[in-house]
Amino acid sequence: MKKHKIIEVLEGSIAEEIEIEAGDFLLSINDEAIQDVFDYKFLLADEFIEVLIQKHHGEEWLLEIDKDYEDDLGLIFETELMDDLIRCKNKCKFCFIDQLPPNMRKTVYFKDDDWRMSFLNGNYITLTNMSEQDLYRLEKYHLSPLNISIHVTDSEVRKELLNNNTAGDIIPQLKRLIEAGIEINGQIVLCKGINDGELLDKTIRDLSQFIPHILSLTIVPVGISKFRQNLTKLEAFDKKSAKIVVEIVEKWQDYYLKKMGTRFVFVADEFYILSEKDPLKYEEYEGFHVLDNGVGMITKFRYELIQALKEFSPSLIKKEVITVTGVITRDFMSQNIKLVNEKLPNISIKVYTIINEFFGENITVTGLLTGQDIINQLKDKNIKDKTMLLPANMLKSVSKVFLDDYTVDDIERELQCKVVVVSNEGKEWLDAILSTEEKI
């Protein structure tokens, strides 16, 4: 029987009242074994339960608990999932983990492909590492929506792309999930010369049969770091190839909007910037359901900034701040500063474009910048005592740590500046500028 170690008992909880303690182990509920958090939550959903606890000294307690249907016990376990993660067995040609530099923390090299984390944290999964038992439990608990990395619907190309001979049956797998009532957000990591062009066109057409159960289909460009030794050679998208991608997507957006009332398929902002084509308008992103995938961020930010600026009359308020950005959004940020200065001409905002030397210059997005690159490239820029606005998407969620384990504190100490972490929202960015204490 699997044991789940309890690391904390919430104050005032049912568990505290019946003397469950940190260091005890949960063994079962209603004589049912518990594999993970979904079994745990499912078995808790009753007004009378029997909980088997092994005390830290080895004694077992069978506790009968009367409670309201929705009441939790107040137990905190070692991990959110209460189980080991399912490891990815694919060897995808585009996998970014395979392109990481050496000597980073061991945890960053772990490849998970866990359907449970797709539901809990929005991770994208390939469906290739699910057992029949996994599928049964997914259907039983009806975890929806799931984020699925589809990449291509051509069976042979998908097998080749994922380096997995069992990866070709994506359409039957999607049908099974949808018939079980599971909704899906689909993703295509687009690799130039592999799953773009006619294959991209076919993939979009094939997947449209599942509208509206596939809520959206997102196309993102492959990330290519400088650490690709002994890996398949991949090419970065350029203006010409990005324009072809956008044109294919625009064709299908127009078609499905007229036929189904949704654009269905969206491309990451990078494709618009590379192709120098205008992105969709704010209302055309249909609620920004896949914003975390880099889709619509620039449109949403610009719209929010313009709306926020409408509240201001031309002002003589004086401020001076700095901010950093990746190469691909350099012009976008310069345009935002121009908009601010039209209304607030005495606010000085200096943008520093950071080249990604850590992963390589092919990585141009702001979210993959590292602390050491910021420090190395700004240490001679005389920013002592200035305020730096730092985009939150550079940092791990709910922390102040960069991908290279540098911290916000490291930035402040090394550059002797004040750092203000700002979300990727236009109004909050403007509010952060106006609330800084620094004046010219």
Each residue's pLDDT tens digit, 46-66: 999 999 999 999 999 999 999
Dihedral angle sign, alpha carbons of residues 75, 80, 81, 82: negative
* Residue 230 amino acid letter: N
**Per-residue pLDDT tens for 73-122?**
999 999 999 999 999 999 999 999 999 988 777 778 889 999 999 999 99
CA-to-CA distance for 89 and 86, rounded, in angstroms? 9
Residues with Cβ within 8 Å of residue 436, at least 6 apart in sequence? 319, 321, 387, 420
Instruction: Please report the pLDDT score of residue 12 as a whole number.
Output: 95
380's tokens: 């001679």
Residue 421 has pLDDT above 50, yes or no: yes
Whether 23 and 54 have beta carbons less than 8 Å apart is answered as no
CA-to-CA distance for 185 and 213, rounded, in angstroms? 9
Residues 377-405, mean pLDDT to the nearest whole number: 89
Residue 354 has pLDDT above 90, yes or no: yes
β-partners of residue 349 are 321
CA-to-CA distance for 113 and 107, rounded, in angstroms? 14
Q: Chain-wide mean pLDDT for the chain? A: 93
Q: Which residue has the tokens 């999930």?
A: 177
350's tokens: 């200096």
Longest alpha-carbon distance in the chain: 72
pLDDT bracket for residue 191 (50, 70, 90): very high
CB-based burial, 81-104: b 16+ in 10 Å, e otherwise = bbbeebebebebbbbbebbeeeee
**Per-residue pLDDT tens for 284-338?**
999 998 888 889 999 999 999 999 999 877 777 788 999 999 999 999 999 999 9
CA-to-CA distance for 330 and 119, rounded, in angstroms? 34
CA-to-CA distance for 277 and 275, rounded, in angstroms? 5
Helical ranges in 345-404 per DSSP H: 371-378
Span of 104-108, 357-361, 419-423 with lowest mean pLDDT = 104-108
Residues 163-176, mean pLDDT to the nearest whole number: 95
Instruction: Please report the pLDDT score of residue 102 as a whole number.
Output: 83
Instruction: Output the pTM of the full model.
Output: 0.90
Per-residue CA distances from 28 to 1, 10, 98, 236 (Å): 8, 20, 39, 51
pLDDT bracket for residue 259 (50, 70, 90): very high
Instruction: Please report the pLDDT score of residue 438 as a whole number.
Output: 55
Residues 128-136, mean pLDDT to the nearest whole number: 95
Instruction: Please report the pLDDT score of residue 31 as a whole number.
Output: 95
CA-to-CA distance for 54 and 402, rounded, in angstroms? 40
pLDDT bracket for residue 177 (50, 70, 90): very high
Phi, psi of 86 (to 5 degrees): -80, 125
Residues 208-214, mean pLDDT to the nearest whole number: 95
CA-to-CA distance for 101 and 9, rounded, in angstroms? 40
Nearest CA-CA partner of 92 in 173, 185, 207, 187: 187
Q: Residue 149: which H helix or E strand, with range?
A: strand 146-149
Residue 440 has pLDDT above 60, yes or no: no
Instruction: Please report the pLDDT score of residue 309 as a whole number.
Output: 93
Q: Which domains are delineated in the chain?
A: 4-77 (2.30.42.10), 97-294 (3.80.30.10), 302-435 (3.40.50)
Helix axes 197-207, 239-260, angle to 10 degrees: 20
**Per-residue pLDDT tens for 221-231?**
999 999 988 89
pLDDT bracket for residue 397 (50, 70, 90): low
Whether 326 and 357 have beta carbons less than 8 Å apart is answered as no
Write the DSSP assignment of 150-172 as a string of letters.
Answer: ---S-HHHHHHHHT-TTTT-HHH
